[in-house]
Amino acid sequence: MKIQLNQVLNKWGKRPVLWDSYWPSEEQTELITIFCHGYKGFKDWGGWHLVAEEFALSGMPFIKFNFSHNGGTIDQPVDFPDLDAFAENNYSLEMADLQRMIMMINERYGARRIALVGHSRGGGITLLKAAEEDQVKKVITWAGVSDFKVRFQVGSPEFELWREKGITHIENTRTGQFLPHNWQFYEDFMENEARLTISRAVRQLQIPQLIIHGSDDPTVNLSEAHAIHSWNSNSKLEIIPGADHVFGMQHPWKKEELPAHMKDTVALTKDFIINA
């Protein structure tokens, strides 16, 4: 297995993207798997490195990356040292970052077939991109969200205060930071609502789709997995009994093995990518 960490994608006049590649000694699949982290996430969170190694050891090339405006920097990729960048993030930028990763793969490895895996908010991004990018041949969501618009809580007192002040803050209880979102986040969504509607994208999918969700997810309700499943009769839904939003992981993850729920998730995903 060949591992290359913290590579910098700095092309096309955009903010740099930091990414890792895990390449097997002998490939068992012609697909490259790209992993997208979720909200308040990053490529080095928890045990994502162990997940990547599990794929590569099974002969499956695996790439994970930081979205360009996730709050990390090239020198400090963990957590959120750049809150100005975080404030300017939006769904369209994350879609563009994922497209840049696909373009980079084409340049470096040739026009390879791609499997997308996304966790939480990253799951929504992967579903949207899978519906518009022919190179994506399989899509898998882990605790994926079903609707971006509902998360703005339009009409609530908090939403109106955000509109008035032009900025709102979300507490990250793990780091103690109050993470900023500028009003542009909502404006960008409304300008691109049709493209960023997950239900529309899922209904258009013509490729194998796997939905994995924990039965005890306190962050993204299991009902969202059922909603995604209902929009594509050909999709496959796997519910992990007792699993939470991060399938038993936490950050930092100091153990040398993945928790049981994440092991089950990885096993289901690898089998789906190879055999579906």
Based on the number of CB atoms within 10 Å of its own CB, is 46 exposed (0-12), middle (13-18) or buried (19 or more)?
buried
Cβ atoms of 115 and 61 closer than 8 Å: no
**Is 11's pLDDT higher than 80?**
no
Quick: pLDDT tens for 77-90. 999 999 999 999 99
Q: Looking at residues 101-119, what average pLDDT do you find? A: 93
With helix as H, strand as E and coil as C, how does 181-222 read?
EECHHHHHHHHCCCCCCHHHHHHHCCCCEEEEEECCCCCCCH
Quick: pLDDT tens for 167-198. 999 999 999 999 999 999 999 999 999 999 99
SS3 94: helix
The CATH fold assigned to 2-148+193-275 is: Rossmann fold (3.40.50)
Among positive and negative, which fits the CA dihedral 271, 124, 129, 38? negative
Q: What's the distance, CA 56 to chain centroid?
A: 19
Residue 140's nearest CA partner among 270, 10, 1 is 270
Residue 195's nearest CA partner among 137, 116, 125 is 125
Cβ atoms of 117 and 126 closer than 8 Å: yes
Domain boundaries, the chain: 2-148+193-275
pTM over 0.85: yes
CA separation for the pair 276, 273 (Å, rounded):
6
Among positive and negative, which fits the CA dihedral 19, 271, 273, 214? negative
- State the chain's mean pLDDT as an integer: 96
Task: State the amino acid at position 97 in one-letter form.
Answer: D
* Cα→Cα distances 262→15, 38, 131, Å: 32, 16, 26
Give the residue, 162 or 29, on which the prediction is more confident.
162
Which residues have a Cβ under 8 Å from the Cβ of 17 and sit 6 or more positions away? 8, 9, 10, 65, 66, 67, 68, 97, 100, 101
The per-residue pLDDT for 172 is: 93
Cβ atoms of 32 and 19 closer than 8 Å: no
**Is 91's pLDDT higher than 90?**
yes
**C-beta contacts of 46-49 below 8 A and 24+ residues apart:** 46/246, 46/249, 46/250, 46/251, 46/252, 46/253, 47/249, 47/253, 47/255, 47/258, 47/259, 47/262, 49/20
The per-residue pLDDT for 124 is: 98
Work out the number of other CB atoms within 10 angstroms of the CB of residue 28.
13
